[in-house]
Amino acid sequence: MKRHIYLEDIPLDEARAAFQAALAAAGLARPLATENVPLAAANGRTTAAAIWARLSSPHYHASAMDGYALRAQDTITASETNPLCLTLATHFDPDTADPGLRPAAAVNTGHPLPAWANTVVMIEHTQLVTDDHGREAIEIRASLPPWTHVRALGEDMVATELVLPANHTLRPVDLGALAGSGHAAVTLYRRPRVAIIPTGSELVTPEDAAHYGLQPGQIIEYNSLVLAAQVANWGGRPTRWPIVPDAFEAIQTAVRAAAQNHDLILLNAGSSAGSEDYTAHVVQSLGTLLVHGVAVRPGHPVILGMIGITDRPSETEDAQSPLPTNHHPSHVPIIGVPGYPVSAALTGEIFVEPLLARWRGQAPHQPLTLAATLTRKVVSHTGDDDLVRVAVGKVGERVLAAPISRGAGVISSLVRADGLVRIPRFSEGADAGTAVTVHLYRSPHDIENTILAIGSHDLTLDLLAQFLAEAGGDTAGRRRLTSANVGSLGGLVTLRRGEAHLAGSHLLDPQTGEYNISYVKQYLPHQAIALVTFVGREQGWIVPPGNPKGLAIWADAARPDIHLVNRQRGAGTRVLLDYEVGKLGITPEQIQGYGREEYTHLAVAAAVASGAADTGLGIRAAARALELDFVPLAHEQYDLVIPRPYFESDLLRPLLDLLHHDGFKTAVAALPGYDVHLMGQVTFLPTA
Amino acid sequence: MKRHIYLEDIPLDEARAAFQAALAAAGLARPLATENVPLAAANGRTTAAAIWARLSSPHYHASAMDGYALRAQDTITASETNPLCLTLATHFDPDTADPGLRPAAAVNTGHPLPAWANTVVMIEHTQLVTDDHGREAIEIRASLPPWTHVRALGEDMVATELVLPANHTLRPVDLGALAGSGHAAVTLYRRPRVAIIPTGSELVTPEDAAHYGLQPGQIIEYNSLVLAAQVANWGGRPTRWPIVPDAFEAIQTAVRAAAQNHDLILLNAGSSAGSEDYTAHVVQSLGTLLVHGVAVRPGHPVILGMIGITDRPSETEDAQSPLPTNHHPSHVPIIGVPGYPVSAALTGEIFVEPLLARWRGQAPHQPLTLAATLTRKVVSHTGDDDLVRVAVGKVGERVLAAPISRGAGVISSLVRADGLVRIPRFSEGADAGTAVTVHLYRSPHDIENTILAIGSHDLTLDLLAQFLAEAGGDTAGRRRLTSANVGSLGGLVTLRRGEAHLAGSHLLDPQTGEYNISYVKQYLPHQAIALVTFVGREQGWIVPPGNPKGLAIWADAARPDIHLVNRQRGAGTRVLLDYEVGKLGITPEQIQGYGREEYTHLAVAAAVASGAADTGLGIRAAARALELDFVPLAHEQYDLVIPRPYFESDLLRPLLDLLHHDGFKTAVAALPGYDVHLMGQVTFLPTA
């Protein structure tokens, strides 16, 4: 079974068309069957037929006030100087009553008007009196037009009127209108049942991983969790299958079982063309393989197919049981979902959501879009539609889309993404500054309240994000801090281009021994800047527990038995290393591993923890986080560089306030290697 | 207990502040207690604490390809002309192995790299060979940099990194990131339990109304359905109480019971100051009445209060059972929700949503807003914030907000509303043409796809809306038809102001006997118009079953024993009546009820059905809908008047296509009194 199938990516449109044609041929390209659902269970679901009013609302002429029902024609002579007396007479019959009698009947709000009445006077505008015959009566001092303070029959809805059309997703007020027009239940599209089958001998459940830990090679299976939540959000009923090992028969058995009582099968993964990728073979063995490979990244090793079903058990209503008899398809669609988590989630958006939408009579979801400017060049794979995850923020008057790491295995990139930018096929990418359309994952309101921090990375920025997320619960102005790590110099360059609100920076000036000031003057000469002291922190060698190679001084960087891991160009930590080893006359060529670059302190620590490197320069907190040892070498200052207009903006106010907040300072000071005694000090640097 | 309480509306801000202060004093102005929830049940809920990675992801250096793990430094000499042989050696130990051995180990995607390896060559770029010692080996023809095709430890997330902040509402991908960083469960805010208690002796359930019908004075209780769905949408757990009769002790007992195991009580209604409005008394008897009446319309008779609790039962986990012990408030907030359905739903939005948001650490919901132009003057109650429901559509380049009926009892107005416009206190209203901000209930995409039909009402427009809602399921371009009834002339005036896409019209020209053409020329001289024939229909007397007063001819309108119900000025039906009785020399003064105006055929029929009038002029379908009899008098033509730019627009294409659709024609023809043989004929009227 080794590489029998050649995976050839076809364009997304062609893949969709092939799937659509097969669904149509199987009678599955239309909404699902319907079911009658009590109103109390109908919220958020979709009507399968128009609903017409069975009753009028109100279904009688109702008083709209507490007061008295009258005949308007009796009141014509009433005025301030000529009060009129009306006799209380609930059981008034115009055919038999004294022709001179002017009747009035007490009514409360919502009460029906007597048949003879056509208007209502408010109780506040009456006085209780006695009429000429000693009967209870009221006195009024103004005439009333007919239909005053009356809710006429059908004012809201008239029987037979259209209350709601088909294909309408029910909101709370819709339930009220349905009930008010005489319905206790409503005809909805049945919710599709979706089987989600994770396959892979290397997979372990999140529960087992949390309880027993992981061995190298084991992977936590969470795609089924993500797909199930997507399916639920899109109106389906997910069934998560237990993990199936990488074995043809086991997978085939699971798919055959799922096809018995599900509308759609998501098989994850084994959709590529590796030695243990059985999905295509299983689909071929049980039905038709329509598509193997779609030219979209992430997500290209998608499989689309149809599983044939011969005999389905008969109807019952239980969730796990066979489908109702009004659903008799000969085939069940199957989607082979790629294994990388970003690919899996995007396959859900691209193929599963539109199908579930169609099955409840809806067009595919249209995300909100926002016009933005790309901040970095994106190189794209020609021939593929490329879906670039971006962070989005509004800096000044410009909306910026900053591309995030593109690895299909990096689920955190999707968590951080504010939206997607599509680079179409036959394009080789897009340059920085290109106008793009972002398909948003967040609301425009969230985007407006996003603070973009692009520059040097520090753990305390996570803490700041965390405190910001907890602050301001009372206001609609809660801020979100999004930070991207491009190193200290990269941050200043980003500020110069006007593409961030602030940058973290810890750049040592070898001439002055000062941090940041000379760099800000050099890189941002035309901007007024507030340089805000954030934290002081230790830098030193991050080493394995026990410091087995005995690192102690800067010169150890050049030892022949030491393999270093370095930071990327422009990182303040790299500037510090270059400065200190340079003073000793050591050149990069003398340092083994100088060229291996990582982008964060934690990544440096991870390289040391894994044994891939003997040491790297970094902060104490990163060493501590991965239970490594630390050899302190220097003390440095980490500042926030903030252009004056943002420093003074409402947007940044909650962030700047936190720098004077004891709870935040205490939390930072509790991190090893940090001091906060200068936190919040501001130096204003005018334009040059 | 009659009117002891004087209801005095206070401004919304003051009411909110008073409620907030009381909540704060009771320790209830902060998020609820937390609970640990398995990831599979956490979708859509809100994190109560920051979540930091427990494991790195990947937690080992993983191959990103099927291929062979190597040492990059071994490959430096490899080139196309100088192939390099590497020996397959899974259990390689650099300290004991032959120093000349260049090891390679087969790896599949996701497999861990051996400790000695630092790069991966794709299987496609290798050939299986035998080395000099006859051992299995591979040959490569290019050198490899380190860390090629390797997903390094921590590439996605590094242990101790911030995965998600607190107060974050979990999306499917977030669940993946949590699982991938070593979590199987997550700390969330507990969902608030909300008791919804409907009160009123006149209330019946929707089920009873559907099964047994209604008596005059009975009202279908659906506010609890609406409030429960709102609460669920806003992250709460609603409990719908059975209907409680209007009796002080019964209501008090229900409130006391609900306070035992709920976080919030919604008592509906009895919040006004009528003789059976017990809510304020009940609140006073069990706690503190904070606010009775808020200056906002609809919704002003709101009550805000706190119920005291002395002893709560101890903890269990069941939904109906007492609250967990980490929740020990001394008070439970109570909101007396007004009885009118629009007031009830808006009270939910104004008071309940912000409180539930706060309890899960969120700011109140911020609806999307849209700048629009008001189409009609709105007169507002000075001193109250006035929430005007509006239909919104984009006509040409203008976004228009058309006010909808303002009665607090008209739930259908909220169903039809596309958004709310707030007319602030101390304003007397807003003129037509005022720029307003609409708080949207629908997506901007829906608004873009809305066809605004403002003019004469006809039942077949409902049918058209219904067919449009069912059409175009495959495209994102499904249209929504919103129609407002202002009569035929009103429609032409609306088109002249550029405030609708089309107008239904059936205006008879007494001079020519033609319909609509002369009116279009007169009212729209400067616009090119497409006059599209829609339906032909009968007009006649709508009379009670059996036609008890024997109406037969136009002249019957002036009989002294006949009370008419008329249509509003500008309605084509009224023009027809005026024309026909005018020919007979009958004046409006001779017609009893000429001044009572209704806005739709169905409303006219409803007036006849209720006995409020003996007859009215209208269409056969309206009579039939309410099981009334019909005396045909005339045959008229009902057209769609469409400015040329909209006639030719993509927006209207699906609607115009339906006029040639057999299914739609058949459905219209099946309605009594309609003929469709001219449907879809177009007459183009150029500008004058």
Flag whether B456 is in a domain. no
CB B383 within 8 A of CB B338: no
CB B444 within 8 A of CB B426: no
**Residue whose entry in the numeric block shows the structure tokens 């459940």:** A205
Note whether B7 contacts A: Cβ–Cβ < 8 A. Answer: no
pLDDT band per the 50, 70, 90 thresholds, residue A7: low
Question: Measured between CB atoms, which of A180, A223, A364 is closest to B222?
Answer: A180
From B182, B476, B500, select the one nearest A209 (Cα to Cα). B182
User: Cβ neighbours of residue A166 under 8 Å, at least 6 residues apart?
Assistant: A47, A48, A49, A50, A361, B466, B469, B470
Contact A177 B210 (CB under 8 A): no
Note whether A599 contacts B: Cβ–Cβ < 8 A. Answer: no
pLDDT of residue A527: 94
Can you give the CATH number for the domain in which A170 is found?
Answer: 3.90.105.10
pLDDT of residue B439: 95
Q: Is there a single domain that holds both residue B51 and residue B87? A: no
Phi, psi (degrees; rounded to nearest 5) at B12: -55, -45
pTM of the full structure: 0.88
**When comparing pLDDT for A165 and B37, which is higher?**
B37
pLDDT band per the 50, 70, 90 thresholds, residue A486: confident
Question: Measured between CB atoms, which of A40, A152, A468 is closest to B225?
Answer: A40
Instruction: Tell me the C-alpha distance between A621 and A615, whole Å.
Output: 15
Q: Is there a single domain that holds both residue B160 and residue B230? A: no
Contact B596 A363 (CB under 8 A): no
**What ipTM, to 2 d.p.?**
0.88
Name the strand (E) or helix (H) holding A668.
helix A662-669
Residues of A in contact with B275 (CB under 8 A): 66, 108
pLDDT tens-digit series, residues A441-459: 988 888 999 999 999 878 8
Instruction: Tell me the C-alpha distance between B488 and B516, whole Å.
Output: 9
Q: Is there a single domain that holds both residue A86 and residue A171? A: no
User: Taken in order B196, B201, B203, B208, is the CA torsion positive or negative?
Assistant: positive
| Integer-rounded Cα radius of gyration of chain B | 36
From A215, A508, A209, A17, select the one nearest B54 (Cα to Cα). A209
Residues of B in contact with A359 (CB under 8 A): none
Q: Is there a single domain that holds both residue A94 and residue A160? A: no
pLDDT of residue A311: 60
Contact A368 B202 (CB under 8 A): no
User: Cβ neighbours of residue A98 under 8 Å, at least 6 residues apart?
Assistant: none
Can you give the CATH number for the domain in which A69 is found?
Answer: 2.170.190.11
Residue B357 in tokens: 């948001």
User: Cβ neighbours of residue B543 under 8 Å, at least 6 residues apart?
Assistant: B549, B551, B608, B614, B615, B623, B628, B629, B630, B631
Contact A240 B183 (CB under 8 A): no
Residues of A in contact with B154 (CB under 8 A): 602-603, 606
A-to-B residue pairs, Cβ atoms closer than 8 angstroms: 371
Listed by number, the residues of chain A in 446-505 with a beta carbon closer than 8 Å to a beta carbon of chain B are 459, 462-463, 465-466, 468-470, 472-478
Phi, psi (degrees; rounded to nearest 5) at A128: -75, 130
Q: How far is A510 from chain B (nearest CA, A)?
A: 32
SS3 B388: strand
Flag whether B253 is in a domain. yes
Average model confidence (pLDDT) across chain A: 89
Q: Is there a single domain that holds both residue A183 and residue A268? A: no
Instruction: Tell me the C-alpha distance between A178 and B465, whole Å.
Output: 17
Note whether A379 contacts B: Cβ–Cβ < 8 A. Answer: no
Can you give the CATH number for the domain in which A24 is found?
Answer: 3.40.980.10
Instruction: Tell me the C-alpha distance between B179 and B184, whole Å.
Output: 6
Contact A411 B469 (CB under 8 A): no
> Torsion angle, CA of A75/A77/A80/A83, rounded to 10 degrees?
-70
pLDDT of residue B661: 92
pLDDT of residue B611: 82
Q: Is there a single domain that holds both residue A222 and residue A345? A: yes
pLDDT of residue B1: 32
Residues of B in contact with A478 (CB under 8 A): 167, 363
Residue A650 in tokens: 């409402």
pLDDT band per the 50, 70, 90 thresholds, residue A271: low
From B599, B595, B272, select the one nearest A155 (Cα to Cα). B599
pLDDT of residue A322: 47
Q: E strands of A315-449, at which residues?
A: 331-337, 369-374, 378-379, 385-395, 398-403, 419-423, 429-430, 435-440
Which stretches of chain B score pLDDT less than 70? 1-7, 271-276, 310-328, 406, 472-477
Note whether A247 contacts B: Cβ–Cβ < 8 A. Answer: no
Q: Is there a single domain that holds both residue B274 and residue B348? A: yes
Q: Is there a single domain that holds both residue A45 and residue A121? A: no
Give the mutation candidate from A19, A168, A173, A482 for the B interface (greatest B CB count, under 10 A).
A173
Contact A412 B470 (CB under 8 A): no
Listed by number, the residues of chain A in 506-545 with a beta carbon closer than 8 Å to a beta carbon of chain B are none
Q: What is the mean pLDDT of residues A324-344?
A: 82
Residues of B in contact with A76 (CB under 8 A): none
From A70, A116, A71, select the one nearest A92 (Cα to Cα). A116
Note whether A204 contacts B: Cβ–Cβ < 8 A. Answer: no
Question: In the predicted model, is pLDDT for residue A430 greater than 70?
Answer: yes
Q: Is there a single domain that holds both residue A180 and residue A242? A: no
From B378, B385, B387, B374, select the one nearest B413 (Cα to Cα). B387
Instruction: Tell me the C-alpha distance between B157 and B179, whole Å.
Output: 11
Flag whether A559 is in a domain. yes
Flag whether B28 is in a domain. yes
Q: What is the mean pLDDT of residues A339-350?
A: 94
From A254, A369, A378, select the one nearest A307 (Cα to Cα). A254
Q: Is there a single domain that holds both residue A279 and residue A135? A: no
Residues of B in contact with A1 (CB under 8 A): none
Q: Is there a single domain that holds both residue B530 and residue B675? A: yes
**In angstroms, what CA-CA distances link B72 with A104, A166, B126, B537, B549?**
101, 63, 15, 85, 103
CB B516 within 8 A of CB B507: yes
pLDDT of residue B224: 98
DSSP summary character for residue A282: H
CB A240 within 8 A of CB A257: no
Instruction: Tell me the C-alpha distance between B498 and B646, whole Å.
Output: 11
Note whether B144 contacts A: Cβ–Cβ < 8 A. Answer: no
Residues of A in contact with B174 (CB under 8 A): 415
Flag whether A498 is in a domain. no
From A584, A687, A605, select the one nearest A643 (Cα to Cα). A687
DSSP summary character for residue B256: H
Q: Which residues make beta-bridge pairs with B121? A: B68
Can you give the CATH number for the domain in which B584 is found?
Answer: 3.40.190.10
CB A149 within 8 A of CB B407: no
Contact A415 B174 (CB under 8 A): yes
pLDDT of residue A477: 67
Question: In the predicted model, is pLDDT for residue A1 greater than 50?
Answer: no
**Residue whose entry in the numeric block shows the structure tokens 């591979």:** B138
Phi, psi (degrees; rounded to nearest 5) at A598: -120, 160
**In angstroms, what CA-CA distances link A49 with A103, A185, A187?**
48, 12, 6
Question: Measured between CB atoms, which of A180, A229, A410 is closest to B175?
Answer: A229
Q: Is there a single domain that holds both residue B523 and residue B583? A: yes
Phi, psi (degrees; rounded to nearest 5) at B509: -90, 110
| Integer-rounded Cα radius of gyration of chain A | 36
Phi, psi (degrees; rounded to nearest 5) at B517: -55, -50
Name the strand (E) or helix (H) holding A522.
helix A517-523
Contact A407 B55 (CB under 8 A): no
Flag whether A317 is in a domain. no
Instruction: Tell me the C-alpha distance between B562 and B591, whole Å.
Output: 8
Note whether A90 contacts B: Cβ–Cβ < 8 A. Answer: no
Name the strand (E) or helix (H) holding B221.
none
pLDDT tens-digit series, residues A81-126: 999 999 998 788 877 888 888 999 999 888 899 888 889 999 989 9
Flag whether B488 is in a domain. no
From B226, B307, B223, select the one nearest B264 (Cα to Cα). B307
Residue by residue, DSSP assigns B117-166 as: --EEEEGGG-EEEE-TTS-EEEEESS---TTTTEE-TTSSB-TTSEEE-T
pLDDT of residue A312: 59
Flag whether A324 is in a domain. no
Tell me, what amino acid is at A567? Answer: R
Q: What is the mean pLDDT of residues A303-325?
A: 63
Residue A671 in tokens: 């991190």
DSSP summary character for residue B594: T
Q: How many domains, chain A?
A: 5
Question: Measured between CB atoms, which of B222, B407, B466 is closest to A176?
Answer: B222
pLDDT tens-digit series, residues A39-89: 999 999 999 999 999 998 998 889 988 899 999 889 989 999 999 999 998
pLDDT of residue B272: 66
**Parent domain of A282:** 12-32+194-304+329-359
Instruction: Tell me the C-alpha distance between A568 and A595, whole Å.
Output: 9
